[in-house]
Structure 1
Amino acid sequence: MSGRLTLAAGVLVTVLATVVLTMLEFELSSLRVGGVTGLFRGDVDVWTGTGRLIGLAIPITVAVNLALAWFAVATIGRSWAIGVPWALWTLLALGAAGTRTAEGDYLLGGDNWVALVMILVGSVTFAVYAYRMIMKPLKAVPRPS
């Protein structure tokens, strides 16, 4: 019974962490130069800045998705556990890319190159982690003497 409870808790924490961190990644995809420089002037709203998009969300997405994949496999203790954050992250990304706001804008628009690269890199990060898990050499079984 304790094993099932631990497994369920690991899945639940992985799902919650994936949702929270994915939303953070999506928010960072719209960060602009003017918003960051506004921080130094005392502006608290960095999302309304002007200027070019900052690709900060891309390396953060790689780091966060690697951490989510590791966390899922480590806490759940099964190799299939990588599918939990990977599937949820992909569904959230595709949902955000295909959902319009009340004003008619997309949450992750096609004119936002950071968001498009983030979607590609985020999914590839999970794929690379899964590939590395598959290619990990098997532990040598000691031979009886």
Structure 2
Amino acid sequence: MKSKLLTFIIIIAFMLPLFVVPTLASSKIVDISRPDGNEIVTKEIFSICGVAIEDEAYIEIYYKDRETDLYKPLQTTDGEYVFKVGKIFSKDIELKYKGKNELRIKAYTAATKNDPQIEKYTITLVEEKRKENWLEKALNWFAGDETK
């Protein structure tokens, strides 16, 4: 009797990781490839890209409102607040503020809607510096007009 019980325990101990661990490990619904961490950008339109790990995944994007300090839904440039993603996805958003924009990306499936994947990012929108043309600068210097 003890050997049958021991055999049963060994079989269960061996089979459990095969079935339970993959289920627990798949808590990630999408893999966000952009933003890759916190970014500094110069354009107001920003692309969010990634790969869906789960089928039938949905994404919502939120921004932190500076006045209320609460996250509010952010509409994509296509006019969507919630969008279904295929295996590879990319959506454009317009950043709300110059300077720091705190974003929250929420991904879920029908089965995980109550326990979504949430990623937080800070995208900083800065003004693009005008690159000086060295030839123009040299000609202005020779002409005696160094103010330009």
Tell me if both proteins adopt one fold, taking TM over 0.5 as the criterion: no
Structure whose residues are more often helix by fraction:
1
The TM-score range, normalised by the shorter chain, is under 0.3
TM-score (norm 1): 0.27
* Larger proportion of strand: 2
Q: Taking structure 2 as the reference length, what is the TM-score of the superposition?
A: 0.26
Which is greater in Rg?
2
